[in-house]
Chains A and B, each alone.
Chain A
Amino acid sequence: MSFNNLDQLYRSVIMDHYKNPRNKGSLETDAVTIDMNNPTCGDRIHLTLKVNDGVVEDAKFDGEGCSISMSSASMMTQIIKGKKVAEALELADIFSKMMMGEEYSDKYDLEDVEALQGVSQFPARIKCATLAWKAMEKGVKE
């Protein structure tokens, strides 16, 4: 059986984040807490953000879900750490465009997040990938 199509979705960098998630856990003090779930499939994320002077100083996540949702959360926390709130929101917008298969700005180095590009070819899985980003957007706006 050929795995070419699947490789588009499950790049090894995604699997690495799924198996070895970065920033897993929960921030204890002075953190914004966001709980979000995807009611159609049961994926769940618990995101904690430490925002000071308009900068996302730290981010951790916990949750349950498929490889796409959990690796996306891991990558998201990695890339927004140290970014300004406005930059984090801009990244969320870029990510959303990437998922919709639209053109997006190359202003930022998207690092590992780039690996999720293939998800846009799998409409049923886009919501998995965007869950963590939606939680982050909600969190930094608070």
Chain B
Amino acid sequence: MINKDIKSYFPILNQQVNGHPLVYLDSAATSQKPIQVIEAIKHYYEFDNSNVHRGVHTLGNRATDKYEGAREKVRNFINAKTTEEIIFTRGTTTALNTVASSYGRANVEQGDEIVITHMEHHSNIIPWQQLAKEKNATLKYIDLEADGTLDLEKVRATITPKTKIVSVSMASNVLGTINPIKEIAKIAHANGAVMVADGAQAAPHMKIDVQDLDVDFLGFSGHKMCGPTGIGVLYGKKEHLEKMEPIEFGGEMIDFVGLHDSTWKELPWKFEGGTPIIAGAIGLGAAIDFLTEVGLDNIAKHEHALVGYAMDQLETIDGLKIFGPRDPMKRCGLVTFNLDDVHPHDVATVLDMNGIAVRAGHHCAQPLMKCLQQVATARASFYLYNTEEDIDRLVAGLRSAKEYFGDVF
């Protein structure tokens, strides 16, 4: 189970910031890394570093085994059928761009539709905007309910037989809303569309089973789930990936190269042009081991409890408005809010002076900010290492922000 000791695995959390013990509430932007992940990367560079899939020498074999071993860990983590369906990318952004550039270009034609929602991160908006512009296709948005959730009736009304791609975040990075991906996938499939899931905010916090969800593609990032930056995953059903063209060409991804024509390696390597992010993949593998040992169900339970506690406590502050669903069970571990007339940047600066790290801004979701009629918001996001005491510190910090700005106005 998750107890206070879990913080001791994260060396970075043991420090003072601006004279106060650090309270890190920005894990939705990037999570901190446990010592196990840091050690795995260090060990790789100190003992195994070598290029993969090339050398005949021992280090080359070790590096290859560890890199491919990490792929198997990812496969198991999301319950994919085979490692051929697991492609290492730079992150969620690259994963979604690969789907748009390869599958999208080959399958979307003039007059077709691509369907997303109003709660998407820019990385799940702009690749589709670009594709729609290039193909003269229509990009449609599913409207949100007042509490920041999706209504399946509206999903049904938006997706039509003209829809070729539906792409929805599994959990919103602003509202926290956990979306009914399995049900949306059914609706997409009934209309002949493929289902793409943006798992950036979901993979760190809840068990994902791609076969049960029946999604065609899933993207997620290592750095939000205790892993290093620069590594992410694109899952795709083999039947799609086999037909798709690579989008990056060069070393590593080729079979035979002639003067005027070349052929590609089999899956998954045809999508991994160039020397891959070897240490990153190994670090991600270590993060998956760590999360699995703690237990994804335990993490989800811990976060639901924390987010419930946070909402109860935050609501005791006069003039504080919370965005997204009120029911903590419908949320991943984050709370986005605004405090009276105090701009979120000013809120974040006051909190920072108290050693508390939160995010302030538009959270890479400008269309959603427009829906919420907010220029910017403040966001506190939680992970397995956060505690109720952290939230008490946040609430005390917000009260002092109110006091401070109340005094000067």
Interface on A for B, CB 8 Å cutoff?
A: 1, 3, 5-6, 9-10, 12, 15, 19, 40-44, 64-68, 122, 124-125, 128
CB–CB A42/B408 < 8 A: no
The verdict on B45 contacting chain A, using a C-beta distance below 8 Å, is no
Interface on B for A, CB 8 Å cutoff?
A: 18, 343-346, 349-350, 352-354, 360-362, 366, 369, 375-376, 396, 400, 404-405, 408-409
CB–CB B375/A9 < 8 A: no
CB–CB B350/A6 < 8 A: yes
Known: A3-B404, A12-B408. 4 other contacts (CB 8 A): A43-B376, A64-B375, A67-B343, A122-B349
Contact of A6 among B353, B360, B396 (CB under 8 A): B353
- Chain B contact residues: over half helix, strand or loop, or mixed? helix
Please, could you name 11 A-B residue pairs with CB atoms under 8 Å apart, sorted by A? A1-B396, A6-B404, A10-B346, A12-B408, A15-B408, A15-B409, A42-B362, A43-B345, A65-B343, A65-B375, A66-B344
Alpha-carbon separation in the docked complex, A113 to B330 (Å): 47
CB–CB B404/A68 < 8 A: no
Contacts of B346 in A (CB 8 A): 10, 66-68
Contact of A42 among B376, B396, B400, B404 (CB under 8 A): B376
Chain B: minimal CB distance from A36 (Å): 15
Contacts of B354 in A (CB 8 A): 1
Chain B: minimal CB distance from A128 (Å): 6
CB–CB A41/B345 < 8 A: yes
Contact of B375 among A40, A44, A67 (CB under 8 A): A44
**Minimal Cβ-Cβ distance residue in B for A125:** B349
**Minimal Cβ-Cβ distance residue in A for B374:** A42
Contacts of B345 in A (CB 8 A): 41, 43, 65-68, 125, 128
CB–CB B404/A10 < 8 A: yes
Alpha-carbon separation in the docked complex, A1 to B20 (Å): 11
Contact of A10 among B360, B375, B408 (CB under 8 A): B408
Contact of A19 among B369, B375, B409 (CB under 8 A): B409
Contacts of A10 in B (CB 8 A): 346, 404, 408
Alpha-carbon separation in the docked complex, A44 to B344 (Å): 14
Contact of B343 among A5, A9, A66 (CB under 8 A): A66
Chain A: minimal CB distance from B363 (Å): 9
**Minimal Cβ-Cβ distance residue in A for B408:** A15
Contacts of A3 in B (CB 8 A): 400, 404
CB–CB B375/A42 < 8 A: yes
Assuming A6-B353, A44-B375, is B400 touching A1 (CB within 8 A)? Answer: yes
**Minimal Cβ-Cβ distance residue in A for B369:** A42
CB–CB A41/B361 < 8 A: yes
**Minimal Cβ-Cβ distance residue in B for A9:** B349
Contacts of B409 in A (CB 8 A): 15, 19
Contacts of A6 in B (CB 8 A): 349-350, 353, 404
Alpha-carbon separation in the docked complex, A41 to B349 (Å): 13
Alpha-carbon separation in the docked complex, A127 to B375 (Å): 17
Chain B: minimal CB distance from A8 (Å): 10
CB–CB B353/A42 < 8 A: no
Alpha-carbon separation in the docked complex, A9 to B375 (Å): 22
Query: Most A CB atoms within 10 A — which of B345, B360, B409?
Result: B345
Contacts of A40 in B (CB 8 A): 361
